[in-house]
Structure 1
Amino acid sequence: PAGERTAAGARAMVPGEWEKLLAKRPELAELFAGDADGERLATWLAEAEALVERWFSLEDPTRLEPADRELYVETVLESGLRLRGFIDRVDVAPTGEVRIVDYKTGKAPRPQFAEGALFQMKFYALVMWRLRGVVPRRLQLVYLGSGDVLTYDPGEADLRAVERKLLALWEAIRLATETGDWRPRPTKLCGWCDHQAHCPEFGGTPPVYPLEARPADGGGAPQGRMEAI
């Protein structure tokens, strides 16, 4: 109930929710293998509780009644490309306006990298538009690690541009799959990568991709799926 949504109450739920998750997915216990005294698990739970409590400084849950939580969405574009993903939260105003909300446990990106972070949200917005015929009024990213909220109000032109970009990405994937020519895209993060032995940028050889790309029924349009979670 809305009136019982307090920070203290939410923090108290964290250990119990972890136990429920373990009951469903026992393999997650391996995350804390060798933690005989439970110190690592206790630290991790305390960090999770801190993130939960921080959220209460960003939004007022007593005033929220989400239309959907962890909503699975899927649609097929005219090209045959299937898009699907899970949306953390969907709010619908009495006037019908839609807000899509996603939670991040990390810190908000610097302004020059905000567009990359918003691409996932525009992906969701495109799927919702194709499914329900309504462009979401607002996209909202909640960064629990830093206590920031990033918002964006998309328009149809934005979503059409996202659709074109997705089609171009899928075409590049299809072509690379057919030819075996996977082009590396080096960045400053390459030094952290564990797969340099398989990367041409470091003199490695990519493994043979096991799947064939097939054209959509009745034509040469790209067929496949792209996911955002």
Structure 2
Amino acid sequence: MSTVHQGAFGGMPTPLYPASPSRLLAWLDCPRRYRMQYLDRPRPPARPQRAHTSVGITTHNVLRDFWDLPPVRRTPEGVAELVRSSWIDVGFRDPEQSAAWRQRVRESVVDYLRGSDRDRQPVGLERSVALRTESIAVTGRVDRLDDRDGELVVVDYKTGRQVPTEEDARTSLPLALYAAGAARTFRRPCVRVELHHVPSRTVVAHEHTQESLARKVTEAESIATDLRRADAEFAEQGVEAPSFAPRPSPLCTWCDFRAHCPEGQHMGPEKSDWAGLDGDGSTRPVRSDEGVRHD
């Protein structure tokens, strides 16, 4: 009996390209960082976690676990206990700075939740959603899914220094993919997306249409087409593949893989572990795919 090797059959459909919003955006930010993060094996060591990432992850975890508390414990004291048990003491200058930021996170989460209906249970918390088209299979994890009058609403938490705008909500590729994926996963309408800036309690929103969501899905398919080509090139040529040239920018001073990129090192001195923290209780902008993984 002869052995048939995989790929020997002609006319077989091209497999769907598996992607996440984080993977798509990593390619747009810098092809070299994308290669090191997703393709290189062994993966180059990343720098230690910074303090602003610890703040962001802790805040997300507390806002996730808060809704698992019984209603009688959804109090400032309950939040304080969650912050204490979830705190990530990594990247801070010293114990005093860590303790000060732990208190700030507690206060900001309590203030944010005062404006929430604490008796209305979300439909999903860090819920995975999926979307398939003729060319891609996108999976992502939504911070929170609400039910508002029978329709789903995507809620994405932000913890950074920069307060998001309605334009940020309108143009966000991840938010649109989460909405399209939630609609497919739950078989319910989902067109509203919201960015909740926890430190300032700012909420900005955008109401998509089916047409605008379709355009965002098409955008994701276009990026995935480039990724499919680049991934194949890497499989043949490895790190010598020309598709992975760096894209130097001010972001290089924050890059977790800076130590492996001479071009990035020329963009200026590396930021300290706590450089993302400032004196007024906020942090450097943290995108949804930075620190808090949404793959």
Which bin holds the TM-score, normalised by the shorter protein?
Answer: 0.5 to 0.7
**Cα distance in 1, alignment partners of residues 161 and 92 from structure 2:** 27
Tell me, what secondary structure is at the counterpart of 1:65? coil
C-alpha deviation, 1:187, in angstroms: 3.7
* Structure 1 partner of 2:251: 189
Q: Does 1:125 find its partner at 2:179?
A: yes
Describe the shift of the 1:132–1:65 C-alpha distance in structure 2 as closer, same or farther (beyond 3 A): closer
Give aligned-pair identity as a percent: 24
**Cα distance in 1, alignment partners of residues 180 and 212 from structure 2:** 9
Q: Structure 2: which 5+ runs fail to align?
A: 1-69, 234-240, 267-292
Tell me, what secondary structure is at the counterpart of 1:61? coil
Check the 8 A contact 1:32/1:40 in 2, yes or no: no
* Structure 1 partner of 2:76: 7
Check the 8 A contact 2:92/2:98 in 1, yes or no: no
Q: What is the 5 A alignment of 1:50-199?
A: 50-57=107-114, 59-79=115-135, 81-93=136-148, 95-109=149-163, 111=165, 114=168, 118-179=172-233, 180=241, 181-193=243-255, 195=258, 198=261
**Cα distance in 2, alignment partners of residues 32 and 185 from structure 1:** 26
C-alpha deviation, 1:202, in angstroms: 8.1
Instruction: Give the one of 24, 40, 45 matched to 2:102.
Output: 45
Q: For 1:32-79, what per-residue CA distance to the aligned partner results, in whole angstroms no more than 9, with x for missing partners?
A: 6995xx43442232122122123135x323342212212122343222
1:45 maps to amino acid = R
**Per chain length, whose mean CA-contact separation is higher, i.e. which structure has more relative contact order (CA < 8 Å, sep 6+)?**
2
Provide the TM-score with structure 2 as the length reference: 0.54
Tell me, what secondary structure is at the counterpart of 1:134? coil
**Cα distance in 2, alignment partners of residues 47 and 99 from structure 1:** 28
C-alpha deviation, 1:159, in angstroms: 1.3
Describe the shift of the 1:117–1:188 C-alpha distance in structure 2 as closer, same or farther (beyond 3 A): farther
**Cα distance in 2, alignment partners of residues 197 and 32 from structure 1:** 21
Tell me, what secondary structure is at the counterpart of 2:134? coil
**Cα distance in 2, alignment partners of residues 162 and 123 from structure 1:** 7
Task: State the number of aligned residues.
Answer: 191
**Cα distance in 2, alignment partners of residues 178 and 102 from structure 1:** 33
Describe the shift of the 1:160–1:17 C-alpha distance in structure 2 as closer, same or farther (beyond 3 A): same
Check the 8 A contact 1:106/1:146 in 2, yes or no: no
Tell me, what secondary structure is at the counterpart of 1:161? helix
Check the 8 A contact 1:122/1:159 in 2, yes or no: yes
**Cα distance in 2, alignment partners of residues 110 and 60 from structure 1:** 19
C-alpha deviation, 1:143, in angstroms: 0.6
Check the 8 A contact 1:67/1:91 in 2, yes or no: yes
**Cα distance in 2, alignment partners of residues 16 and 201 from structure 1:** 37
**Cα distance in 2, alignment partners of residues 65 and 134 from structure 1:** 17
Q: Structure 1: which 5+ runs fail to align?
A: 19-27, 204-226
Please give the root-mean-square deviation of Cα atoms over the aligned residues, in Å. Answer: 3.3
C-alpha deviation, 1:178, in angstroms: 2.9
Provide the TM-score with structure 1 as the length reference: 0.67
2:83 maps to amino acid = V
